[in-house]
Chains A and B, each alone.
Chain A
Amino acid sequence: MAVKEVLVYPDPRLKEMCAPVDDFDDSVRQLLQDLVDTMIDAGHSVGVAAPQIGDLRRAVVVDVSKSKLGKKQVNHGLMQMVNPKIIETEGSQVVREGCMSVPDYTGNVTRAEKIVVQYLDENGDFKVVPSEGFEAIAIQHELDHLDGHLFLDRVSSLKTDLFRRKQKK
């Protein structure tokens, strides 16, 4: 059990591109365990990405099953993902997101409604999993961390959208 400190912006590690995991060794299993421990320790957190605890490898954990919103929806419980990649998206929805690494601020972000994500699980097995609802949002949010993106990079506002559409005519 190793609960790590969750880094907060402007820590530069949150803006780094993370490296793929080539060897699925014990250090990867340890990283996943640390992510799970940190997520659980952070109370209502539904996911943590490796760079949030200062490890610049492509790994995230997501678990919406313990959250008020997530437990009402279909979900996969605890997902431990190494080298995750979203291979399909469908639909879009606006979500007001907040992030442990950017406290006291929320913004409207457009996310896909449904996704298909591929990854290596905690046993190093290749998985392809469809996800939707809150879980899909959480996965998209955590995966963004691996590319150095914060939700602040994705904030959209309805007002601007309306304005843009008008200009296109």
Chain B
Amino acid sequence: MQYFALTIIGRDRPGIVSQVTEILYRDGFNIADSSCSILGGQFSMILIISNPKITSKEQFADDFAKLEESNLSVFIRTLKPGGEERPELEGHLCMISVYGADKPGIVYQVAKELGDRQINITDLNTKLIGDEKRPVYVMMIEAILPDEVEIETVESWMVELKQKLQVDISVRSLLAVEL
């Protein structure tokens, strides 16, 4: 079956989800996976969708184009075969909390330490908190560490960064258990 990634973003207000999912429902789409959240004043939706009767985005793109009239931006990406499946990631989960006075480059420099070592980030949230005089940046990263990489090892990668960026960074393991 052909899968599509549907991204919708627009000024937050009540009714966006129902407006979007009504179209999906009427067109006969399945929502395989989705994540929707409010970022700043914008509501953003990312959905992986499929419909046994639809093979190309031209068949349904017009239905969503209507949303543009209510100030929502719509983007549809056609997935390659297998693109709907999450790759099997071996290893153990860890959470990295980074927070401190806001300054440029916090996300990039922390992510670079991980990316350079082929560590896979599975979830990342950032938020600017505090007030205008003293903005505080908070970032939460969830990453999968290969078996041979210990929590202490990740901590050691962050020591220099803590100094350089003057932020607090803590790393802890996120216990994942099947019960």
CB <8 Å contact, A106 and B176 = yes
The residues of A that contact B129 with a CB separation of less than 8 Å are 162, 166
Q: A96 to B179, Cβ gap below 8 A? A: no
Q: Are B93 and A96 closer than 8 Å at their CB atoms?
A: yes
- Chain A residues with CB below 8 A from B72, complex form: none
Interface of B is mostly: strand
Whether, in the assembled complex, A142 has its beta carbon less than 8 Å from a beta carbon of chain B, the answer is: yes
Would you call B177 and A98 a contact (CB within 8 A)? Answer: yes
Query: Could you say which residues of chain B place their CB within 8 Å of the CB of A47?
Result: 179
Tell me if A164 counts as interface (CB < 8 A to partner B).
no
Chain B 97-108, CB-CB to A under 8 Å as 1, else 0, gives 000000000000
- Give the CA-CA distance A169 to B69 in the complex, in Å: 37
* Chain B residues in 8 Å Cβ range of A44: 178
- Tell me the residues in window 44-100 of chain A with beta carbons closer than 8 Å to chain B beta carbons: 44-47, 69, 93-100
Interface stretch of the complex, out of A23-31, A118-126, A133-141: A133-141
Contact B179 A142, beta carbon cutoff 8 Å: yes
Residues on A with beta carbons closer than 8 Å to the beta carbon of B140: 158-159
In the complex, the chain A residue whose C-beta lies closest to that of B138 is A162
A138-154 residues with Cβ-Cβ distance < 8 A to B are 138, 141-142, 151
Question: How many angstroms from the CA of A7 to the CA of B176 in the assembled complex?
Answer: 22
Contact, CB under 8 Å: B175 / A137: yes
Render B136-179 as a binary contact track against A, CB cut-off 8 A, 1 for contact.
00101000000000000000000000000000000000111111
A96 touching B176 in the complex, CB below 8 Å, given contacts A158-B140, A162-B138? yes
List residues of chain B with CB under 8 Å of any chain A CB. 37, 93, 125, 127, 129, 138, 140, 174-179
